[in-house]
A and B are shown apart, each in its own frame.
Chain A
Amino acid sequence: DAGITQSPRHKVTETGTPVTLRCHQTENHRYMYWYRQDPGHGLRLIHYSYGVKDTDKGEVSDGYSVSRSKTEDFLLTLESATSSQTSVYFCAISETSGGSTDTQYFGPGTRLTVL
């Protein structure tokens, strides 16, 4: 299994509070991704990173920001959490951007509940 950890694994917070989720990898992969998973929607990309300090938006980026100051860590921040951000959040990593190694490996997920 790819060395990907997410913390915390579960979190309950209140509307309006800031929340930061952490993804840590030990594979030294260049690409990292944050997805959210909701019933009936599958997984949707929030933000991704293609290198240290290099990030870009996915399809559902409103209300989220990210940072990557080290290869191994990718942080997802909800600046002011809302109930619509209650979800399961998955981090993924990928070694390259092309060819047969172009495969994403997923972390165990973080279940976030916003009350």
Chain B
Amino acid sequence: AQSVTQPDIHITVSEGASLELRCNYSYGATPYLFWYVQSPGQGLQLLLKYFSGDTLVQGIKGFEAEFKRSQSSFNLRKPSVHWSDAAEYFCAVGAGGATNKLIFGTGTLLAVQP
């Protein structure tokens, strides 16, 4: 069965520091992978996605993620965090196909210290 693990429930970084949020997935074939961000009281906004091709994908707001098949990982990175990046981040894996269902991780809450 498909599953997504986000090992870090809560992370605190200083403004201007680099960030890496971890995501590991379990899926038999080549997955569709997504990162979403949720600001407090808001819906989910797509940051980036991986379907095929280049394993390093660029997203909005200066984020990038790298697909590593050998490690079943899709970690999210940002070189310099801004206070406005404080939010909850969700990794998701999709099977595509006839239903396009997504399986979400439990999320990582990011706090940014001034």
Contacts and interface: CB of A to CB of B under 8 A. Distances in A.
Interface of A: 31, 33, 35, 40-45, 48, 50, 56, 58, 90, 94, 96-100, 102-109
Given A33-B102, A97-B96, 7 more contacts: A31-B100, A40-B106, A43-B104, A45-B101, A48-B101, A56-B99, A108-B42
29 contacts: A31-B99, A33-B102, A40-B106, A41-B106, A42-B105, A43-B44, A43-B104, A45-B101, A45-B102, A48-B101, A56-B99, A58-B101, A96-B100, A97-B96, A97-B98, A97-B99, A97-B100, A98-B97, A99-B51, A99-B96, A100-B51, A102-B32, A102-B51, A103-B49, A104-B100, A106-B36, A106-B45, A108-B43, A109-B42
Contacts of A50: 98-99
A111 B29 CA distance: 36
Contacts of A31: 99-100
Nearest to A105: B46
B97 A90 contact: no
8 closest residue pairs by CB, A with B: A42-B104, A106-B44, A106-B43, A42-B106, A43-B104, A97-B100, A108-B43, A98-B96
B94 A48 contact: no
A19 B92 CA distance: 29
Contact of A103 (B46, B90, B99, B101): B46
Contacts of B36: 106
Contacts of B44: 43, 90, 106
A95 to B, nearest CB: 9
Nearest to A107: B43
